[in-house]
Chain A
Amino acid sequence: MTTSVLYDAPGPRTRRRTLVGSVLAGLLVVAVLAVVGSRLDEKGQFSAEKWDPLVNPSSDTFDQVWNLLGGALVNTLVAAALAMAFSLVIGTLLAVLRITASRWYRWLVVGFIELFRGVPVVISIFFAARVLPTLGVDLDNLWFLVIGLTVYNSVIIAEIVRAGVNSLPTGQREAAESLGLRRAQVLGLVLLPQAFRAMLPALISQLVVVLKDTSLGFIISYEETVRTAGIIIQNLGNPIQVYLVVAALFIAVNYGVSRLAVYVERRLSRGKKAAATLSATDPAGAGAGGGG
């Protein structure tokens, strides 16, 4: 680990001091948790009445609550997967356009990307849901959410892909061109496949962002996890508990996706020479599909 460079291998005195520091820091953490816990307990936040519907399978409402939460989680994952798929396609197209565009219309592509990079994603969702219907577009809320997320994320993915293509050694392009490949072939056959390999971890990390952003669907009453949590709270009156569960769900899913990104990154950097065998076993593709 590079961090150990910051300090010497500790001697007996430092070790003692570290131990004291550890104990003190540990005590502080425990003390903070204890204060928070006791304050919550004072307000009755640990009462069975508030927790049972979430954790006790024999509670009357346990099944209903988890049915709702399960359906909502599926809705969240569906929206995220669709948005990610569309963003990948559109983002790649944008990147290709930006790379290959002749000067007279490149500013248009660049302008488009810069414009949507600067707009908050919650506004692009709101925009999709409020403005598109006035133009005669009749869709489910799911699709408005997907459109809003796609608009925002495709420009980000376009930038990731462009960075990936630019990071390749120029020899790759030159070799391809010297073979007489056309510009589209150079990109499609030589540059993009390599760029995607380099960018896969970044793309998977972007999936975490998309997953979190689906929670903004509450603003257009798409029934994803956070919105459904609101409905459960209205019935049971236990906001703190329900939100803790929702937070745990999100952390679990996103932590899994992040670990996958790290795994893919390791795998790719290890297998640089054995690239051919790697694409044959296809661990990343299958894994990413499961994560979304």
Chain B
Amino acid sequence: MNVILDNFSLYRDGFLQTLKICALAAVGALVLGTVVAGFRVSPVPPLRWVGTAWVTVFRNCPLTVVLFFCAFGLPEIGVNGAYFWFGVTGLVLYTSAFVCEAVRAGVNSVPAGQAEAARAVGLTFGQSLTSVVLPQALRTVVPPLGSVIIAMIKNSAIVGAFGVGGDLFAVGDTLTSARGEAALPVLTGVVLGYLAITIPGGLLLGLLERKVAIAR
């Protein structure tokens, strides 16, 4: 286990990099996913089609393929930038499809009477969605959304292969491959790093779930 202590600063930087990627991607995915969910229930047919196509594409494509198109497709259409942002974009696009479906399921779970009442007092589609339906839906979708975000944290291990660099898994790869360290202790360190994020995340989610359950 000496290899973990000897390279502690590398591990720490990798851990922070992973946290940074995940925090940015989580915010992006939640916002974008909610917007796409709005598209999917909107009265404007082209928006609905865009929403459906969006979900079909990003839910059924492997993340590696999505990340590839971010890292090599975007520059091809004239969008240049840091690979860090391409990696975050890929995670956001991929995760937004799952967020969208969770939110949409939440919207559908809101009793019809709520939306009808909103309409009865004269709210428009946008108003009833943002001030009546979504606030209630978001509360019911906390557990599935939490699972989606935790899955995203685990998925973030792949961005290292697309030029982002410096994340936890990339640290493990550098140590085992370029420096020739034994795989077992190095990877144990990497796993501990991820568990340090996902297990507290899961516990937090359990707490939230209980809190939401009481509130209803």
Contacts and interface: CB of A to CB of B under 8 A. Distances in A.
Q: Are chains A and B touching directly in their complex (CB below 8 angstroms)?
A: yes
Interface of A: 2-3, 5-8, 10, 14, 18, 21-22, 25-26, 29, 35-36, 39-40, 43, 45, 114-115, 117-123, 126-127, 130-131, 134, 208, 212-213, 215-216, 218-219, 226, 239-240, 243, 246-247, 250-251, 254-255, 258
Most buried by A among B40, B133, B190: B190
B108 A6 contact: no
Interface string B15-35: 000000000000000000000
A249 B72 CA distance: 19
Interface hub of A122, A216, A250 (most chain B Cβ within 10 A): A122
Contacts of B8: none
B24 to A, nearest CB: 18
A213 B183 contact: no
B73 A226 contact: no
A292 to B, nearest CB: 15
Interface residues of B, number: 55
The A contact surface, by secondary structure, is helix
30 contacts: A5-B115, A6-B129, A14-B43, A18-B44, A21-B47, A25-B47, A39-B76, A114-B199, A118-B194, A118-B199, A118-B202, A120-B154, A120-B155, A122-B157, A123-B157, A123-B187, A127-B187, A131-B184, A212-B61, A212-B63, A216-B64, A218-B64, A226-B62, A239-B68, A239-B72, A240-B76, A243-B72, A247-B61, A250-B65, A258-B59
B109 to A, nearest CB: 9
Interface string B50-62: 1000001101111
B136 interface: no
Given A7-B125, A26-B46, A120-B157, 16 more contacts: A3-B107, A5-B115, A7-B43, A22-B44, A22-B45, A25-B50, A39-B77, A45-B76, A118-B194, A118-B198, A118-B199, A212-B62, A213-B62, A226-B62, A243-B69, A250-B61
B41 A215 contact: no
A10 B124 CA distance: 11
A100 B175 CA distance: 42
Contacts of B124: 7
Given A3-B41, A7-B119, A115-B195, A43 B68 contact: no
Most B CB within 10 A of own CB, among A7, A36, A131, A246 = A7
Main SS at interface, chain B = helix
B86 interface: no
A213 B63 CA distance: 8
A283 B128 CA distance: 42
B158 A122 contact: yes
A19 B116 CA distance: 23
A255 B52 CA distance: 12
Given A18-B43, A226-B64, A39 B187 contact: no
Contacts of B68: 239, 243
A3 B112 CA distance: 9
Interface string B157-201: 110010000000100100010000011100100110011001100
Contact of A43 (B64, B76, B107): B76
Interface in B110-159: 112, 115-116, 119, 124-125, 128-129, 133, 154-158
A226 B183 CA distance: 25
A8 B119 contact: yes
Contact of B183 (A14, A39, A131): A131
Contacts of B112: 2, 5
Contacts of A36: 77
A29 B119 contact: no
B79 to A, nearest CB: 9
Contacts of A3: 40-41, 107-108
Contact of A118 (B63, B65, B129, B195): B195
Given A3-B107, A243-B69, A123 B190 contact: yes
A258 B60 contact: yes
A233 B52 CA distance: 30
B60 A250 contact: yes
A43 B73 CA distance: 11
Contact of A119 (B41, B73, B154): B154
B81 interface: no
B202 to A, nearest CB: 7
